[in-house]
Structure 1
């Protein structure tokens, strides 16, 4: 009996030690009725453009556009980030920021007009570019050198005016409830010559 208890104690201590230092920073669900972007205070849609940072202390910071998440990182640094996530444009699954492939084109319509969408792998990103006839493939490292300019044509107003809008008009930036597939087609076809 003592031998079994000693072995069990060793196993429990070993398991506890393995768990320490390996904190998991899993993405949290998006709740459209309450979640707002940590940068622009607009509603975060539970869709392909949502991004998220889980801080080392377990807080979830949600963003309506990859550009807003980048702005937060520029203003706050990366020391407090446990993990950062983007969504796959096709199936909306969460992907670690560093592992995703990105496509940029000013004609891609995103909530805050940064024109960047994310994919779980390079193959999916390349298929998107081929289908749309536009886009530049970028890695997470290459995004660090990206200019992060908002497309004024896509926003329809300057940054100052947009930031003063109430969150109630944010749906207009997302297409006023148009279906996701219809929205994808409309967004890219409007500027497919780029």
Structure 2
């Protein structure tokens, strides 16, 4: 009897761990040249740009430009209350995804992002200041960008 209870308990624990791990709300690395944008369907190829939304259920949506993540939200393809997190590629460190809400954005017509937002994201103001030495543009934050109309 004890063996049976142990097997059932062990199976329940393993099942619970699997369910919890499958609902992760952490971002996944973007596979440039492989992943497609969930909004415009283009292949995500420019490593300086890109974004992700993670739903509260753990579903990952990937984008090739900040313009596409905004369009995806505006078109109601995900409800605001269903978003667990939004992430943007750090322009200064393309291998890194940073929290969109904590990012420092910089808009410049000279940047030429894949879908025309021409916005780069940075983890800190120091990195953003470096690009401002070479490009003219406007500083902004994520929430400000979401309410702007283009």
> Is the TM value for this pair above 0.5?
yes
Q: Residues 35 and 62 of structure 2 are in contact (CA less than 8 Å); yes or no, is this contact kept in structure 1? A: yes
Q: Deviations over 1:59-106 (max 9, x none)?
A: 110000000000001112312111110011011211001000000122
Alpha carbons of structure 1 residues 128 and 41: separation in structure 2 relative to 1, 3 Å:
same
Q: Residues 65 and 110 of structure 1 are in contact (CA less than 8 Å); yes or no, is this contact kept in structure 2? A: yes
Shift, 1:145, TM fit = 3.2
2:67 aligned with 1:67: yes
SS in 1 for 2:131: helix
Shift >4 Å, 4+ stretches: none
Shift, 1:51, TM fit = 0.5
- Give the match for residue 113 of structure 1: 116
More strand by share: 2
CA distance in structure 2 between the partners assigned to 1:51 and 1:136 by the alignment: 20
- Give the match for residue 16 of structure 2: none
- Give the match for residue 48 of structure 1: 48
The 5 A counterparts of 1:70-81 are 70-76=70-76, 77-81=79-83
Aligned residues: 127
Q: Residues 126 and 137 of structure 1 are in contact (CA less than 8 Å); yes or no, is this contact kept in structure 2? A: no
CA distance in structure 2 between the partners assigned to 1:128 and 1:32 by the alignment: 23
- Give the match for residue 131 of structure 1: 134
Q: Provide the aligned C-alpha RMSD in A.
A: 2.0
SS in 2 for 1:144: helix
- Calculate the TM-score normalised by the size of structure 2: 0.76
SS in 2 for 1:79: helix
SS in 1 for 2:75: helix
Q: Relative contact order (C-alpha < 8 Å, sep 6+): which is higher? A: 2
- Calculate the TM-score normalised by the size of structure 1: 0.60
Q: Residues 53 and 61 of structure 1 are in contact (CA less than 8 Å); yes or no, is this contact kept in structure 2? A: yes
Q: Which runs of 5+ in 1 are unaligned?
A: 1-19, 149-194
Q: Deviations over 1:116-145 (max 9, x none)?
A: 11000122112211232x010101122133
- Give the match for residue 90 of structure 1: 92
More helix by share: 1
SS in 2 for 1:27: coil
- Give the match for residue 178 of structure 1: none
CA distance in structure 2 between the partners assigned to 1:123 and 1:32 by the alignment: 26
